[in-house]
Amino acid sequence: MPKTYDAIVVGSGMTGGWAAKELTEAGLETLVLEAGRPITTADYVEHVPPWQMHFRGLDDRKKRSADQPIQRECYACDEWSSKFFVNDHDNPYTTDPDKPFLFLRGRQVGGRSIMWGRQVYRWSDLDFEANLKDGIAIDWPIRYADIAPWYDHVERFIGISGEKLGLPQLPDGQFLKPMELNCGEQVMRDAIAKHWPGERVLTIGRCAILTEDHLGRAACHYCGYCERGCVTLSYFNSINATLPAARLTGKLTLRPFSVVHSLIYDKQRNRVSGVRVIDGETKHALEFRARVVFLCASTLESARVLLNSATPDFPGGLANSSGELGHNLMDHIMGGGANGKITAPNDKKPVGRRPNGIYVPRFRNLAGGPKSPFLRGYGYQGGAGREGWGRGADLPGFGAGWKRALRDPGDWGFSLYGFGECLSNHNNYVEIDNTKNDAWGIPVLKIHCAYGENELALMKDASIAAAEMLAAAGAREITPYIEVNPPGKAIHEMGTARMGRDPKTSVLNAHNQAHDIPNLFVTDGACMVSTANQNPSITYMALTARACDYAVGAMKRREI
Amino acid sequence: MQGTRRVLNAQQDATLAVLTDLILPATDTPGAKAADVNSFIDLLLAEWVEPEDRDRFLKGLADVDTRAHAAFGKDFIQGTPDQQTALLVALDDEAARWKASPEATRGREPFYRTLKWVTLFAFFTSEVGATQEEHYAIIPGRYVPCAPADTLAPTE
């Protein structure tokens, strides 16, 4: 008789790590299945300088374009960190020819939490109520009050640095001391405050990087390259924080190289009884059993597992009586912004590499404010810096005097880069492409996704408003732009198994529990009903912790 | 180092060495030669660039000799430092004019601009250039948001 675990968690990344921690700390024997290889802090390379890299950071571009032509579109998939991204030939997917989608993935213990962007912004009721007020898609089944204590819970553990602002649209959290704005950013902050008092604010990014020692993890040492790892565990990821906490309980079994094929459905009991796994190394088929299953494999992979788990009772995918599974795929639109040169103290420069920038919270379509000709809004990330030696290519001259001139910092530049909300759209969806399998023989996704008019309008406005703010600060050489980025590039994909009150229009209930199958939970980005414009990971983590608490209670009550 | 190159022949290697050391000479800190920029450029030519870009770069080096013969009747490496510098001034001016012209948004950049960039990159990403000229600290230890502009490295 094979062992039956109390819980199986599929995925060991951002949300899988949290499910592992919460479930094991509640006393459940928990099996975490990770598709990729095990990594440890010995895989971290943030302190390897350019001169120790074969191409000094220019990357092995021939190998990258051969093996990772899609993954390389992510800024973090570079000569150091490309090992944290998948091989595109082993992990194919398909799209419509006219609708490109970038599926950017990390398969290893820790998943994409290893090289995530680390920005952390709470949502507010402006976000949770938006669909209801605008008549878009369906209403969220929860409000800010439901999730606020779980934001607190998650933030206290992971350690967030940030500045409290008291803004209704961007609630404050449990913050360690903020990182500091440099002189150029202070100039911009003051100009924005002067020109748009009470409307626009520039603050230091709120990020999951420690500015103080915290729960056995050390404060940041400003080496600057979190996406390459962190031997001092100063930024949050699964292997730095949640998985070690889960391991401490003695209740964790972590199995790498476990590619989940599908879930096993027990029709008599209407329960998921376990998962089918292909061993990543031997390619042998295996099965594991548990009382409850948490899918934390990512928005697209969790949808894929459920779609690949179709049964005669669920021909369109497991837990899909609503027909919404795989649908409503969203990703933040990004890339409307502006650059310019600002006037800031010439005798000052920042020293040290702060792995964080500035944030300008959403200021469009706020409660009680003016209405824009589009729905929702956007926020900016960016920052100020001084040009370095790279400007030498266009600095006339050469020789000793020219070399000496490059030693001094160059002009102050400023960048504002917009991230906008993406509206839910049933016609953006994924399905199984039965003509193609991945390297483990598992059918892949066909992704149908494109941005709509509202997203494009947001980025156009973000570009104009960024140029306005630079102008207000007296910037020169202002360059507004709108990048054309395919969906997926923000790596904030969401929505393929959305929460909701009505089982006819949603896959999950208010506790991330499948309406159709009570012992099945999905707590990654698949659960999201809308995207807001804030970086989503903290909300996934808070929802995961909340769902774990609910599941443990339901198990104790013998409901599942 | 000569004889160990994978792409550059002896003449090309010697020409490149003079050019890069004129661009980034030893001053109060080491220059291109001490940073062995030629080795890294040879590596890029061997493994990194497309064949047509490698050919353009090598043609650019040959063109420097063509110009040298026109200007002072010898190979570039056999000119006096003044002759070599004068030739480089002309190339630098041409590159600046190219950058200011409409060609800069569509055409291929002149060889000299490629040379200048790759010399900078190879120097500042070398251990010598990064640590002695730039005072690059692998672990700064702290972030000083408004340090004096002449700060060499983070200070505790």
pLDDT the model gives residue A391 = 96
Distances (CA, A) of A199 to A361, A430, B37, B83: 10, 39, 51, 62
pLDDT tens track for A336-370: 999 999 999 999 999 999 999 999 999 999 999 99
Q: Does the pLDDT of residue A161 top 80, yes or no?
A: yes
pLDDT tens track for A143-158: 999 999 999 999 999 9
pLDDT the model gives residue B128 = 97
CATH code, residues A4-46+69-118+227-330+432-449+493-556: 3.50.50.60
Nearest to B124 among A61, A180, A389 (CB): A389
Spacing of C-alpha A130 from chain mean position: 21
Q: Does B150 touch chain A (CB under 8 A)?
A: yes
Segment A476-482 mean pLDDT = 98
Among B114, B144, B150, most A C-beta atoms within 10 A, so best to mutate, is: B144
Segment A29-44 mean pLDDT = 96
What stretches of A236-357 adopt beta strand conformation (E)?
252-255, 258-266, 271-279, 285-295, 333-342, 348-351
Q: Does the pLDDT of residue B104 top 90, yes or no?
A: no
* Apex A129 CA angle, A123 and A131, nearest 5: 110
Pick the closest to residue A473 from A340, A363, A360 (CA basis): A340
First-to-last alpha carbon distance for chain B, in angstroms, is 40
B139 vs A408: CB contact, 8 Å cut-off?
A: no
Identify the burial level of B6 via C-beta atoms within 10 angstroms of its C-beta, where 0-12 means exposed, 13-18 middle and 19 or more buried: exposed
Q: Does the pLDDT of residue A114 top 60, yes or no?
A: yes
Average pLDDT score, chain B: 94
Q: Does the pLDDT of residue A525 top 90, yes or no?
A: yes
What stretches of chain B adopt beta strand conformation (E)?
144-148
For residues A443 and B41, what is the distance between their CA atoms, to the nearest angstrom? Answer: 45
Average pLDDT score, chain A: 98
Q: What are the φ and ψ backbone dihedral angles of A408, each rounded to 5 degrees?
A: -80, 145
A50 vs B125: CB contact, 8 Å cut-off?
A: yes
Beta bridge partners of A277: A260, A286
Joined together, the tokens standing for residue A56 give: 């000094």
Under DSSP, is residue B77 helix (H, G, I), strand (E, B) or coil?
Answer: helix
Could you tell me how many helices (H) and strands (E) chain A has, helices first? 11, 19
Which amino acid, A76? Answer: A
Spacing of C-alpha A79 from chain mean position: 22
pLDDT the model gives residue A2 = 79
* CA nearest to B99 within chain A: A394
pLDDT tens track for A72-112: 999 999 999 999 999 999 999 999 999 999 999 999 999 99
* CA nearest to A404 within chain B: B27
For residues A117 and A326, what is the distance between their CA atoms, to the nearest angstrom? Answer: 25
Spacing of C-alpha B134 from chain mean position: 16
pLDDT tens track for A399-422: 999 999 999 999 999 999 999 999
Q: How many CA atoms lie within 13 A of A119 on its CB side?
A: 24
Instruction: Give the torsion sign (CA, A17, A21, A26, A30).
Output: positive
| Residues constituting chain A | 560
A403 vs B153: CB contact, 8 Å cut-off?
A: no
Q: Does B154 touch chain A (CB under 8 A)?
A: yes
Nearest to A349 among B31, B117, B151 (CB): B151
First-to-last alpha carbon distance for chain A, in angstroms, is 21
Segment A243-257 mean pLDDT = 98
What band does A261 get if pLDDT is binned at 50, 70 and 90? very high
Among B19, B125, B133, B151, most A C-beta atoms within 10 A, so best to mutate, is: B125
CA dihedral A47, A49, A54, A56 (to 10 degrees): 130
Under DSSP, is residue A191 helix (H, G, I), strand (E, B) or coil?
Answer: helix
**β-bridge pairing A285-295 and A271-279:** antiparallel
Residues A506/A521, Cβ–Cβ less than 8 Å = no
For residues A19 and A120, what is the distance between their CA atoms, to the nearest angstrom? Answer: 19
- Express as a percent the part of chain B with pLDDT over 70: 96
pLDDT the model gives residue B154 = 63
Residues of B in contact with A399 (CB under 8 A): 22-23, 25, 85
Distances (CA, A) of B45 to A424, B53, B57, B59: 49, 8, 9, 13
DSSP for A453-511, please give it.
HHHHHHHHHHHHHHHHHHHHTT-EEEEEEE----TTTTS--B-TT-B-S-TTT-SB-TT
For residues A354 and A382, what is the distance between their CA atoms, to the nearest angstrom? Answer: 12
Q: Does B100 touch chain A (CB under 8 A)?
A: no
Q: How far is A192 from chain B (nearest CA, A)?
A: 19
For residues A17 and A36, what is the distance between their CA atoms, to the nearest angstrom? Answer: 14
Pick the closest to residue A201 from A80, A73, A363, A65 (CA basis): A363
pLDDT the model gives residue B3 = 59
For residues A147 and A541, what is the distance between their CA atoms, to the nearest angstrom? Answer: 10
pLDDT the model gives residue A147 = 98
Q: Does the pLDDT of residue B62 top 50, yes or no?
A: yes
- Count of beta carbons in the 10 Å neighbourhood of residue A216: 9
Pick the closest to residue A221 from B112, B124, B143, B115 (CA basis): B143
Residues B41/B13, Cβ–Cβ less than 8 Å = no
Tell me the residues of chain B between 20 and 79 that have a Cβ less than 8 Å away from chain A.
22-25, 27, 31, 40, 43-44, 47-48
What band does A1 get if pLDDT is binned at 50, 70 and 90? low
Distances (CA, A) of A221 to A64, A218, A225: 30, 9, 11
Residues of A in contact with B134 (CB under 8 A): 388-389
Residues A162/A535, Cβ–Cβ less than 8 Å = no
Beta bridge partners of A33: A10, A255
**β-bridge pairing A443-448 and A94-95:** parallel
Q: How far is A396 from chain B (nearest CA, A)?
A: 6
DSSP for A171-240, please give it.
---SEEPPPPP-HHHHHHHHHHHHHSTTT---EEPPBSB-SS-BTTBPPP---S-GGG--TT--B--III
Segment B19-48 mean pLDDT = 98
The residue ranges of every structural domain in chain A are: 4-46+69-118+227-330+432-449+493-556, 196-204+333-420+451-486
* Residue owning tokens 């310019």: A340
Segment A292-311 mean pLDDT = 98
A221 vs B23: CB contact, 8 Å cut-off?
A: no
Segment A309-335 mean pLDDT = 98
pLDDT the model gives residue B153 = 72
For residues B117 and B109, what is the distance between their CA atoms, to the nearest angstrom? Answer: 11
Identify the burial level of A309 via C-beta atoms within 10 angstroms of its C-beta, where 0-12 means exposed, 13-18 middle and 19 or more buried: buried
* CA nearest to A56 within chain B: B125
Nearest to A348 among B22, B47, B147 (CB): B147
pLDDT the model gives residue B156 = 44
Nearest to B154 among A186, A351, A403 (CB): A351
Query: 0.95 cut: is pTM over it?
Result: yes
Distances (CA, A) of B131 to A385, A466, B35, B124, B153: 20, 37, 11, 9, 10
| Inter-chain contacts counted by CB atoms under 8 A, chains A and B | 127
